[in-house]
Amino acid sequence: MFKDTFDKLCWLFLIVVLISTVVLIYTNIGTGSEKRAAGPSKTLERELSYRARVDLINQLYLPVENLRKEGNNQTALLKLDELIRKYPTEAHGHILQGDILQRMGAFDEAISSYVEGVKLNGDYVDTKSPLSRRAEIQKLVDGGLKDVGPRVAANPNNRSLVIARQKLNYLKSRLAGGCE
């Protein structure tokens, strides 16, 4: 059994592996309750992260909101353009841009901005989200479909009207709970 040094080393290695396995089994039994406690903390971390993100968005876009409230829409659009270039994956800039363009009467551009914003972040059509702009988007879709529908029927070859209707239908589907 223990004839030479190699056999002795093999048996020693086997004993070390068995002891390590037993130690790992006993230490993992004690950590079972800790793993269950980690679930709520991850949920809490996600919630805190989301709230911090919402606060950061509100802070970043506060100057634009102030300019918009003062009626300086052109200046607000310039500031928004700068912020959109700086944060290209942030949807809030597109949503604000759509709101300002809609107030200025540029409905086709407003529709495009809202679509970009909703594609980047669906929270803007979620009623439970603090970022929700559902009522504004619903109003735009309802008015836009009433306006664009007859215009498309009168000019079916007008590509820009067809695209506007497609974008309105996309927003309508997202408002109805559809996903991409």
118-148 burial code (b ≥16 CB/10 A, e <16): bebbbbbbeeeeebebbebbeebbeebbeeb
Which tens digit of pLDDT belongs to each residue from 155-166?
A: 888 898 899 999
The per-type count for the chain, helices as H runs and strands as E runs, is: 8, 0
Question: Mean pLDDT of all residues in the chain?
Answer: 87
- Decide if 133 contacts 140 (C-beta within 8 A): no
Q: What is the pLDDT of residue 95?
A: 94
Look at the pTM and tell me if it is higher than 0.75. Answer: no
State the architecture of 41-176 in CATH terms: Alpha Horseshoe (1.25)
Distance of alpha carbon 125 from alpha carbon 91, whole angstroms: 12
- Judged against a pLDDT cut of 90, whether residue 35 lies above it is answered with no
Half-sphere exposure of 166 (CA within 13 A, CB side): 7
pLDDT in tens, 89-106: 999 999 999 999 999 999
Residue 28 has pLDDT above 80, yes or no: no
Coil, helix or strand at residue 155: coil
Burial class, 4, CB count within 10 angstroms (exposed 0-12 / middle 13-18 / buried 19+): exposed
